[in-house]
Structure 1
Amino acid sequence: MKWTSSLAGLASLFTLGKPSFLNSASYKRAQMQLVAAQADSTPVEDAETGITFQSFTNEVDVTYRLALPADASAEKPYDVILQVISPITNGWVAWAWGGSMTYNPLTVVWANGNDAQYSSRQALGYYTPAMYEDATYTVLKGTGSNATHFKLTALCTGCASWPDFDGNVMTLDGASQVNFAYAYSTTPVDEPANQESTFSIHDSVGHWTHDLAAARSDKFSSWVAANKVNTTTYRRPVRIGRFEY
């Protein structure tokens, strides 16, 4: 069943309509309540890029990693380095940056031959998440697909902040812990080379608590510089080749 014919999918992570907590103060209080427990992420150095991430792996071995600038906070927007690693048995995997909210960026990733394709989306209701152009990605080294896994490493501008329902900019507090959400499906997308491809509804969704404060580093800029490739993309894939995993 495709999104276009279903009333369920990635948007089931979120609440329809205009949530009452989509203002800055209420959102921050909600995030604080969600992350009262110990964070689920741990530090991991990626051997391929040399980047130290805060990393979380879910129940089907999909890994979500994050590195932030040393001064990341809720006071102003900031870029992030993200990494997503998934078994090739998944047709697509997704990262919801607002946790349980609508109107926040989604990073959707799938395999495309020897590449890993990303798609910037936003869920506006119970239908196919629309393309989201307020988040832009620069693909970095450590991206590709092999016989067992696909892996995306990218610099993202606009993943950690976004306008809420009323147009107010929400920024994840890089000095604390925040709640993220994930979704995945074992059904392949319809057009792997196309970032605007349609795809089936999820098999499962879940949440985790990520320690953003521990993800901050004064090496952020040097990590970006050391891992840039010749071509940046927003709407077309880059061939990075196979990675060792």
Structure 2
Amino acid sequence: MLTLKTLLLALTGAGLALAQSSSQFCDSSSGICFQGYTDPDLDVTVGFVLPPLSTPPSNEFIVQLVAPVTNGYTGLSVAGTMADSLLFTLWPYNNELILGPRWTSGYVLPTAYAGPQITLLPSSTINSTHIKATFRCQNCTAWEGGSLGNGDLTSFGVVAYVVATTTEPSDPADVDSVIQEHDDFNFFGLDLSMAHSDSYSSYIGGSVTTSAPATSTHPTTSSHSSSVVSTSSSAPAATQTEYGQCGGTGFTGPTVCASGLTCVAVSPPYYYQCQA
């Protein structure tokens, strides 16, 4: 079994001379075009898209992670290493996507991480063979101990992903569940300069579900949440529900929040959200 330390050393030694590098692909169900990579052996696809460079600096991006539904869990490292990187874990449970951010400072299994706000987009699905999470991640370009592209969103970075094929979370209903060590991993070079899209605002216009409240160990604030456990929600025709989008560039949906909610600028000018 591969260890976390093995992964870290492999990535460090790889540097930027990677055999597999990112290229563009478009998701037919959503129309979102990503910069990413499909692993033919592990059957994992990872893609990123960022706001256009011409706009003010943003702290967000969209990720697509596709993996076999038979995996105990699939993990993603934004910075390419286990330590000091923003991580995500994903698995299916009762036909729901269980997705959440994690972090670790060393060669230990990562735990839940408060800070990123995750919003599943409508193309997120589970079928008989694969789980696909397409999600918007806000407050995600910088984290404890690091940042995307080391702060340069036009640079070249390394993205890693892991699969657990023989183990599963101890409590699969809990996004913060204890997980066991993965069985395999791989990585690719991500050209961030090619990941920016002028269509970003239209991509996030279809957001359907925001992160569920954090667990008791991670207090929830208006800009911090830790998990996504559902793939659908609905809103009244005239008003928007809590955590639903209520404004932003290109947005054509409801702009009035339900009673007791206020339309808050979360990532202006792209995204405004109804919050209590």
TM (norm. structure 1) is 0.76
Determine whether 1:134 maps to 2:128.
no
How far residue 191 of structure 1 moved from its aligned partner, in angstroms, is: 2.0
- Counterpart residue number, 1:238: 230
Secondary structure at the residue paired with 1:48? coil
Q: Is the 1:113–1:145 Cα contact (8 Å) retained in structure 2?
A: no
Q: Which runs of 4+ in 1 moved over 6 A?
A: none
- For residues 211-242 of structure 1, what are the alpha-carbon distances to aligned partners after superposition, in whole Å with 9 as ceiling and x for unaligned? 221111111011101x211554343511339x
Q: Is the 2:96–2:126 Cα contact (8 Å) retained in structure 1?
A: yes
Secondary structure at the residue paired with 2:50? strand
Q: Is the 2:118–2:227 Cα contact (8 Å) retained in structure 1?
A: no
Match 2:50 to one of 48, 68, 85: 68
Determine whether 1:45 maps to 2:22.
no
Structure with larger RCO (C-alpha < 8 A, sep 6+): 1
| Distance of aligned partners of 1:94 and 1:231 in 2 relative to their CA distance in 1, 3 Å threshold | closer
- Counterpart residue number, 2:162: 183
- For residues 60-96 of structure 1, what are the alpha-carbon distances to aligned partners after superposition, in whole Å with 9 as ceiling and x for unaligned? 11110111111189x9552100010001121111111
* Corresponding letter in the other structure for 1:183: V
Q: Is the 1:10–1:123 Cα contact (8 Å) retained in structure 2?
A: no
- For residues 93-114 of structure 1, what are the alpha-carbon distances to aligned partners after superposition, in whole Å with 9 as ceiling and x for unaligned? 1111121362221011111222
- For residues 5-40 of structure 1, what are the alpha-carbon distances to aligned partners after superposition, in whole Å with 9 as ceiling and x for unaligned? xxx85565347xxxxxxxxxxxxxx8xx92355761
Q: Is the 1:76–1:171 Cα contact (8 Å) retained in structure 2?
A: no
Between Structure 1 and Structure 2, how many residues are aligned?
Answer: 214
Secondary structure at the residue paired with 1:133? coil
* Corresponding letter in the other structure for 1:174: L
How far residue 139 of structure 1 moved from its aligned partner, in angstroms, is: 1.2
Q: Is the 1:82–1:153 Cα contact (8 Å) retained in structure 2?
A: yes
- Counterpart residue number, 1:20: none
- For residues 161-208 of structure 1, what are the alpha-carbon distances to aligned partners after superposition, in whole Å with 9 as ceiling and x for unaligned? 2232xxxx6342321321111111112222222111112211012221
Partners of 2:127 and 2:18 in 1: how far apart? 36
Fraction of identical pairs, as percent:
29
Partners of 2:109 and 2:94 in 1: how far apart? 24
Partners of 1:219 and 1:148 in 2: how far apart? 30
Secondary structure at the residue paired with 1:216? coil
Partners of 1:11 and 1:162 in 2: how far apart? 21
Partners of 1:198 and 1:159 in 2: how far apart? 22
Query: What are the residue-to-residue correspondences of 1:3-42 with 2, within 5 Å?
Result: 10=4, 13-14=7-8, 34-35=15-16, 40-42=21-23
* Corresponding letter in the other structure for 1:141: P
| Distance of aligned partners of 1:230 and 1:76 in 2 relative to their CA distance in 1, 3 Å threshold | closer
- Counterpart residue number, 2:197: 217
Task: Kindly report the root-mean-square deviation, in angstroms, between the aligned alpha carbons of the 2 structures.
Answer: 2.9
How far residue 150 of structure 1 moved from its aligned partner, in angstroms, is: 0.5
Q: Is the 2:109–2:180 Cα contact (8 Å) retained in structure 1?
A: no
